């Protein structure tokens, strides 16, 4: 299929484009910044450009991975988030419907599930999050606009019959966390594979599966993350003493961590449950916490990317051109 891939120059796009090619598809990259996999440089907020792309390239499917993200809040205006994340998504859906496109995959975020109360980790137990969790009360413009875009996808299916799959992706960025500096970047990423992270390669795989199964599913929302070793019976202990729970699940983990100068999480306030994606999409992340422990045990390279200097290609662009 000829697949329009938005955000083709971004972190996910640079892995998704080759994955699409490997699956026998022809990606058509669109991004505001040039890149190896970007054929068209421009913004999804430009409705005329979007319409022209669908016509000229005879687009058959869409993977919409382009967006302004949470770190962009300090770089871009509220209006920019609306223009790109909401209006841009509407432009793509409108052209997809008018062109008779057969499937649409939207890269959303688990961030929109995190209210301020969850963010503050109030309460005595970790919060177990799945696709039924709610009410949804996103705490910033990133989450607000992503939730609005999910609603547009639902509307496109219900009122126009466009098969749309929404993937609420957990963390997969390579840079350091913009709010936490302890523990260090690699240590934090390893810990997060227990409850709120996946590799970018696994994210690409999930998108390919969603693309292939969209016509059969119609519309649905899936959390995409590495499988958690925890159960809902662990939520109180995870909040009180997460390191003991991890050691119970993985005897010897604390020693492997100590040998590298790392620390297991003292407390865990939330867990993303990706089991529904495994059940319906057939997706299970290839990299999980066990993979990390094996790498530490045998002295292998860590199974995830870490680049504290990484900046998205659109970071220096103004809101007028960011997409």
When pLDDT is averaged across residues 152-172 and rounded to a whole number, the result is 98
- pLDDT for residue 160 is more than 60: yes
Task: Count CA atoms closer than 13 A to 214's CA, side-chain side.
Answer: 26
pLDDT at 241: 98
Q: What is the pLDDT of residue 321?
A: 41
**236-247 pLDDT tens trace:** 999 999 999 999
Instruction: Indicate the SS3 state at residue 218.
Output: coil
Question: What is the per-residue pLDDT for 276?
Answer: 98
pLDDT of residue 248: 98
Beta bridge partners of 219: 164
Phi/psi of residue 113, nearest 5 degrees: -90, -5
* The pLDDT of residue 25: 98
Residue 291's pLDDT is: 98
- Find tokens 């997969």 and name the residue: 172
Q: What is the mean pLDDT of the chain?
A: 95
Residue 318: predicted pLDDT: 66
pLDDT of residue 179: 75
Instruction: Determine contact, residues 57/50, Cβ cutoff 8 Å.
Output: no
Give the tens place of pLDDT for each residue, 81-121: 999 999 999 999 999 999 999 999 999 999 999 999 999 98
Q: How many CB atoms lie within 10 A of CB 203?
A: 25
Give the residue-averaged pLDDT of 191-212: 98
Rounded to two decimals, the pTM is 0.96
Dist. CA 132–CA 129, nearest whole Å: 8
Contact 221, 276 (CB under 8 A): no
pLDDT tens track for 124-133: 999 999 999 9
For position 322, what pLDDT does the model report? Answer: 39
Residue 33 and residue 9 in contact, taking contact as beta carbons nearer than 8 Å: yes
**Cross-strand partners of 169:** 109, 224
Query: Under the phi-then-psi rule, with left for phi > 0, alpha for psi from -120 to 50, and beta for the rest, what region is 261?
Result: left
- Answer whether 85's CB lies under 8 Å from 67's CB: yes
Q: Is 38's pLDDT higher than 60?
A: yes
Instruction: Inform me whether the pLDDT recorded for 319 exceeds 70.
Output: no
| Residue of 289, 294, 279 lying closest to 220 (CA atoms) | 279
Q: Does residue 167 have a cis bond before it (omega within 30 degrees)? A: no
Residues 6 or more apart whose Cβ sits within 8 Å of residue 54 = 4, 95, 96, 98, 99, 101
pLDDT of residue 271 exceeding 70: yes
**Cβ neighbours of 57 (radius 10 Å):** 16
């Amino acid at each position: 299929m000829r697949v329009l891939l938005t955000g083709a120059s971004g972190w996910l796009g640079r892995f998704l484009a080759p994955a699409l090619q490997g699956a026998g598809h022809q990606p058509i990259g669109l991004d505001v910044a040039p890149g190896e996999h970007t054929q068209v440089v421009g913004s999804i907020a430009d409705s005329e450009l979007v319409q022209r792309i669908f016509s000229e390239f005879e687009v058959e499917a869409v993977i919409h991975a382009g967006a302004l993200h949470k770190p962009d809040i300090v770089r871009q205006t509220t209006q920019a988030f609306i223009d790109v994340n909401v209006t841009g998504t509407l432009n793509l859906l409108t052209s997809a419907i008018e062109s008779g496109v057969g499937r649409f995959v939207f890269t959303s975020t688990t961030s929109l599930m995190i209210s301020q109360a969850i963010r503050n980790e109030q309460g005595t137990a970790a919060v177990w999050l799945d696709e039924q969790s709610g009410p949804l009360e996103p705490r910033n413009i990133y989450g607000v606009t992503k939730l609005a875009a999910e609603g547009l996808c639902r509307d496109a299916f219900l009122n126009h019959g466009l098969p749309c799959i929404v993937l609420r992706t957990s963390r997969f960025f390579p840079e350091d966390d913009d709010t936490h500096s302890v523990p260090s970047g690699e240590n934090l990423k390893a810990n997060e594979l227990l409850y709120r992270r996946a590799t970018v390669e696994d994210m690409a795989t999930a998108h390919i599966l969603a693309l292939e199964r969209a016509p059969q599913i119609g519309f649905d929302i899936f959390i995409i993350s590495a499988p958690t070793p925890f159960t809902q019976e662990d939520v109180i202990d995870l909040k009180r003493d997460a390191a003991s729970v991890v050691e119970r699940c993985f005897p010897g983990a604390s020693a492997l961590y100590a040998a590298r100068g790392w620390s297991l999480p003292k407390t865990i306030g939330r867990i993303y449950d990706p089991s529904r994606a495994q059940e319906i999409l057939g997706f299970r992340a290839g990299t999980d916490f066990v993979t990390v422990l094996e790498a530490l045990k045998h002295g292998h390279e860590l199974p995830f990317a870490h680049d504290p200097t990484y900046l998205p290609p659109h970071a220096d662009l103004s809101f007028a051109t960011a997409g």
